[in-house]
Amino acid sequence: MSHWAEIDENNIVLRVTVGDNNDPNGDEGYQWLIDNLGGRWIKTSYNNNIRKRFAGVGFTYDEQRDVFIEPSPYPSWVLNEETYDWQPPIPKPVGTETTGWKWNEEITSWESFTKVPRE
């Protein structure tokens, strides 16, 4: 199966669908998408083999870098230009077996929390 992401005029992913690898045109369903749904479609990989990651609704397609970038989890986080992953302004501290860390955007810092053991 091939997967395709439809993007809008701002390169935001609107939806992701599956194409047919057995398509007689050899285009893995691309022409069917154009003929039947219209729009602009960019191939994406469920296994993250192309374009960094599998596209999701709300992701941005960066044409210059040819990657899909997920939405920033917080306004203060910055995109790493080498990995295309969002990075916090302060590195995450190392947790312990009983303590974890969660980001607090109001104070732009990490807060510790006690992990609840699963039974």
- The predicted-structure confidence for 7-16, as pLDDT tens digits, reads as follows 999 999 999 9
Residue 75 tokens read as 């306004």
pLDDT digits over 26-57, tens only?
A: 677 888 888 889 999 999 988 888 899 999 99
Percent residues over pLDDT 70 in the chain: 94
Q: How confident is the model at residue 98 (pLDDT cuts 50, 70, 90)?
A: confident
CB atoms near residue 105 (< 10 Å): 12
Spatial separation of the C-alpha atoms in residues 81 and 11, rounded to whole Å:
18
Instruction: Provide the residue ranges of all domains of the chain, joining segments of one domain with +.
Output: 2-70, 72-119
Spatial separation of the C-alpha atoms in residues 58 and 63, rounded to whole Å:
16
Dihedral, 23, 26, 30, 35 alpha carbons, nearest 10: -70
On the question of pLDDT at 66 being above 80, the answer is yes
